[in-house]
């Protein structure tokens, strides 16, 4: 009776072993995939998304402004007429009368003799004067900026043009003067009061004395408020990136030292405990199962270090995430941490549960090697940045 029971139990063990031999490789494969997709394959870059492309700054280092239609539009007649042989074009160059005498613009902000005008803007020659909508100003033959074509071209680039008698100046919205001019009629009551005080030191004395701080139509005010909101967003983004760079500089050295020590210890573990390269079977010795636990512990620590470096480098604008799955969460650090934790701990739990099987032992050893090599890559990148 006991012999029959022993034979029955042995058959059950053989059947369960065959089932395990089928499901075990699938479980190990799940761990490998989860660990690989949870790792960062960032490519270091010093000019990111984030963030400011070439051609967005003028010759003074300030950011250019463009109209809402996304074009850098210039006024008509920025070149001489064809075949004119020195005859001045519509810009009004030289002493002769320009060929084109009237220009139109639907964008921009125009201050004339201290008053904010509302679009559409009409800029035209009127005898020896310049008509800006219904306002007349004297032309200054020595100042090429005080020409209808030049003024219209600036307005079509959504710039801020201030004309006061024979004096004219063009500001882009990101400049200090331009931002305070917009806040003088489109900002909050506190910002409008502050704009009066700031513009007193930024504008010429006569231009400031004529400034009336009037309220234009609601469409122009709404457009100015949109520009101010965009400027605040750009400023907040830049401040956040600057803070991220400083944070990166503070933690680069301790993280690099910790990573160096961790990779050396992990590499020593890999050299001293290499598993047998067999396809199947059980190795329930304490040394083999402890090797799996240590390998998984190194995988978790190295993955956490990879996650910290990824978030810091991305926020500082120093890398681009090449992992197609992790790149979907890179903009939200909380989602990225949750994704990384689920992918890593799910696979780690599977291998720890199967640590007596040789396939699990081999998979844990190789994943520890992959994470160690990945950390060496991070160390090389940060050593270059620190240098």
pLDDT for 118-127, tens place per residue? 999 999 988 8
Residue 46's pLDDT band, with cuts at 50, 70 and 90, is: very low
Tell me, what's the pLDDT at 69?
37
- Mapped onto helix, strand or coil, the DSSP state of residue 269 is helix
The H or E element that residue 383 is part of is helix 358-386
Tell me, what's the pLDDT at 251?
86
Across the chain, mean pLDDT equals 77
Tell me, what's the pLDDT at 252?
84
Alpha-carbon 230 to chain mean position:
15
* Range name among 257-266, 272-281, 330-339, 361-370 with the lowest pLDDT average: 272-281
Burial class of residue 189 in the structure, from the number of CB atoms within 10 Å of its CB (0-12 exposed, 13-18 middle, 19+ buried): exposed
Average pLDDT over residues 31-45: 54
Average pLDDT over residues 288-314: 90
Tell me, what's the pLDDT at 49?
41
Paired tokens of 143: 């100042």
Residue 11's pLDDT band, with cuts at 50, 70 and 90, is: low
- Which residues make Cβ contacts (< 8 Å) with residue 264, sequence separation at least 6? none
Alpha-carbon 265 to chain mean position:
36
What is the number of other CB atoms lying within 10 angstroms of the CB of residue 270? 18
- For 73-107, the pLDDT digits (tens) are 333 333 333 333 433 333 344 444 455 688 999 99
- For 23-36, the pLDDT digits (tens) are 555 555 555 555 55
Whether pLDDT at 169 is above 80: yes
Tell me, what's the pLDDT at 184?
92
Tell me, what's the pLDDT at 71?
39
- For 185-220, the pLDDT digits (tens) are 999 999 999 998 999 888 888 888 888 888 888 999
- Beta-sheet strand order (sheet of 121-126): 102-105, 121-126, 129-132, 135-138
Whether pLDDT at 244 is above 90: no
- The residue with greater pLDDT, 93 or 227, is 227
Closest CA to 109 of 185, 38, 24, 208: 185
Burial 130-155 (b: 16+ CB within 10 A, else e): bbbbeeebebeeeeeebbbbbbbbbb
- Which residues make Cβ contacts (< 8 Å) with residue 342, sequence separation at least 6? none
Burial class of residue 258 in the structure, from the number of CB atoms within 10 Å of its CB (0-12 exposed, 13-18 middle, 19+ buried): middle
Residue 182's pLDDT band, with cuts at 50, 70 and 90, is: very high
């Amino acid at each position: 009776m006991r012999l029959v029971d022993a034979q029955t139990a042995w058959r059950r063990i053989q059947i369960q072993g065959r089932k395990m031999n089928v499901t075990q490789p699938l479980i190990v494969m799940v761990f490998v995939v989860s660990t690989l997709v949870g790792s960062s394959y960032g490519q270091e870059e010093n000019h990111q998304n984030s963030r400011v492309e070439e051609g967005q700054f003028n010759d003074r280092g300030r950011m250019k402004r463009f109209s809402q239609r996304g074009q850098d539009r210039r006024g008509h007649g920025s070149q001489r007429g064809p075949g004119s042989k020195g005859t001045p074009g519509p810009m009004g160059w030289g002493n002769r009368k320009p060929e084109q005498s009237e220009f139109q613009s639907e964008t921009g902000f125009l201050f004339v003799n201290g008053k904010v005008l509302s679009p559409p803007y009409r800029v035209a020659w009127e005898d020896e004067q310049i008509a800006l909508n219904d306002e007349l100003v004297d032309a200054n033959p020595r100042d090429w900026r005080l020409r209808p074509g030049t003024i219209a071209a600036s307005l079509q680039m959504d710039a801020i043009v201030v004309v006061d008698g024979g004096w004219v100046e063009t500001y882009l919205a990101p400049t200090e003067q331009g931002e305070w001019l917009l806040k003088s009629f489109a900002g909050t009551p506190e910002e409008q009061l502050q704009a009066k005080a700031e513009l007193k030191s930024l504008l010429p004395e006569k231009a400031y004395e004529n400034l009336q701080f009037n309220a234009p139509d609601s469409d122009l005010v709404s457009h100015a408020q949109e520009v101010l909101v965009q400027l605040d967003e750009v400023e907040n983004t830049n401040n956040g990136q600057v803070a991220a760079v400083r944070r990166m500089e503070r933690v680069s050295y301790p993280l690099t030292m910790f990573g160096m020590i961790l990779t050396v210890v992990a590499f020593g573990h890999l050299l001293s405990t290499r598993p047998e390269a067999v396809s199947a079977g059980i190795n329930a010795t304490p040394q083999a199962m402890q090797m799996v636990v240590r390998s998984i512990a190194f995988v978790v620590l190295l993955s956490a270090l990879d996650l910290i470096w990824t978030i810091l480098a991305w926020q500082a604008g120093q890398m681009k995430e090449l992992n197609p799955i992790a790149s979907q969460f890179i903009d939200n650090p909380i989602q990225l941490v949750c994704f990384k934790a689920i992918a890593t701990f799910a696979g780690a739990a599977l291998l720890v549960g199967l640590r007596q099987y040789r396939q699990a032992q081999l998979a844990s050893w190789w994943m520890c090697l992959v994470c160690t090599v990945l950390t060496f890559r991070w160390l090389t990148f940060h050593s270059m940045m620190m240098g």
